[in-house]
Amino acid sequence: SAYNKKAATKACQNMVGKSLKPIEAAEVGAIVTQWQNKLLIHVGLVISVDHKLSVLELNENFGVSCVSLKDWLKGKIKVIYYNDNY
């Protein structure tokens, strides 16, 4: 896989506290991350489409897609939102 989960996990961990902070809930412009144990496995960007929260994501199999936040969250166990508004 072209997506190196260990490298992405380390990069995310290095950014938290420096330029990213965890937030409680989704908001436009937030980064949304999916975790499996302590490994970052998926990342998306929260956007607004027709006044509803959605996730813009890039998947190596399907390319760029946009899905409702509700649909994106289905089946995901651990999700953390981040923003850069310090």
Q: What is the pTM of this model?
A: 0.84
CA nearest 78: which of 35, 31, 40?
35
Span 1-30, average pLDDT: 86
pLDDT (0 to 100) of residue 5: 85
> Where does the pLDDT of residue 7 fall: very low under 50, low under 70, confident under 90, or very high at 90 and above?
confident
Mean pLDDT of the chain: 89
- Token pair in block for residue 54: 């959605």
> What distance, in Å, lies between the first and last C-alpha atoms of the chain?
34
Span 63-76, average pLDDT: 92
pLDDT, tens digit, 9 for 90 and up, residues 11-24? 888 888 788 899 99
